[in-house]
Structure 1
């Protein structure tokens, strides 16, 4: 099988390693079936050949594409620019892509849609995702219930459906929980790779990153431990099964 290219945008090693392990586990991949690139350590190689991969999976991160460039650190600019540089080839070829969390901002920004903080940002916790009519017909969501819970935590969100995209999932707090560009380019606002243990790790690591008040961390960890979040991980498994080649 051609490997899946996994691009990670988290500069914190513990969070990055935990996310990578979760993507492998939830996607049903072995380490040998994935090519991992941490964009905080190295950019996407200029000579990278997409045809050598089954698909591309982009993880989350603490950065925001909507932040003014002048306010971003050199490392944040490096990570974001490297992720965005690959998007013309992804969308131009309709190459299999799954953007998780930060990934929806990268895709929407590339497509010219507004990504901003003034609407639809979500506090750390769970939200109820709802299938749209297009979502019920999408192969990655085959067998999903009309409603299911997912882990979220976002400072920014897509403000309108990007041109050329299908709207697959919504929620009361954020209408654009999952979109698809063309036939094979997907992105989610929620975290399909996250379970309660993984989210607990992120809450601890990011407790001073302005997602929530630091003193609320223990309560959020308790909330995550009690949450029934099982369906989102099937999305990654379905993506891998559909595009492995």
Structure 2
């Protein structure tokens, strides 16, 4: 049986894991009811298991977020790049999220680094580009939709041959497409409102330090069903 492989690139905060599950569990919760019977979900922890799975048995790849930073070029992260390049060359469907988004962009020739405007956290509006409105994965979404975000780094320079599908006031590269079935997003479609709330509570001091009001961000948290729907729709391309 072929698998949908969740590539785990880090661990969520302990209180998030205790109350809601780790990053891979959040993906599983969103995908399990929509998974076709001929596929199963598997997890590969790339930070702890150095041997990359054989791509021949992989129907699709989802890459999680992480508290690591792509620009730190940790050995396990750098080792993922040639594997991702092979997956792209093989037209293996991929969807990278947050760290996965930044890692894919870097692997394919872009640059990810700390955003000069600081951290972006909370439920924020994301806008589709004209290309996004015509994209087979994103065209189901309204031109403006809300999504959960928490990141200090961003894709600062997109790869030359990719297409920008979404952006917002903070980030020019909220969603990118690299090939026919290879996408990445800066936002977190797997997050629920309670998970986003837990992240903001943890980041109160850091957000205040950059001039934001955590209580206002907490009050603005809402469900992001449209962004979350990308995960289930991704399965249609496997």
Superposed pair shares fold, TM > 0.5: yes
In the alignment, the residues of structure 2 paired with residue 124 and residue 151 of structure 1 have an alpha-carbon distance, to the nearest angstrom, of: 7
Q: Does 1:37 align with 2:44?
A: yes
Unaligned runs of 5+ in 1: 70-76
Aligned to 1:66: 71
Encode CA deviations 1:213-245: one digit per residue, 9 max, x unaligned: 59x997378336x424221110001001221xx
In the alignment, the residues of structure 2 paired with residue 183 and residue 120 of structure 1 have an alpha-carbon distance, to the nearest angstrom, of: 32
Q: Does 1:110 align with 2:107?
A: yes
2:92 aligns to what SS in structure 1?
coil
Return the TM-score normalized by structure 2: 0.83
Aligned to 2:219: 223
CA contact (8 A) 1:94 1:183 kept: yes
- Structure with bigger strand share is 2
Change (3 A) 1:221 1:128: closer
Return the TM-score normalized by structure 1: 0.81
Aligned to 1:164: 161
Unaligned runs of 5+ in 2: none
In the alignment, the residues of structure 1 paired with residue 233 and residue 118 of structure 2 have an alpha-carbon distance, to the nearest angstrom, of: 27
From 21, 24, 27, the equivalent of 1:23 is: 27
Corresponding residue pairs, total: 228
CA contact (8 A) 1:61 1:102 kept: yes
In the alignment, the residues of structure 2 paired with residue 118 and residue 142 of structure 1 have an alpha-carbon distance, to the nearest angstrom, of: 28
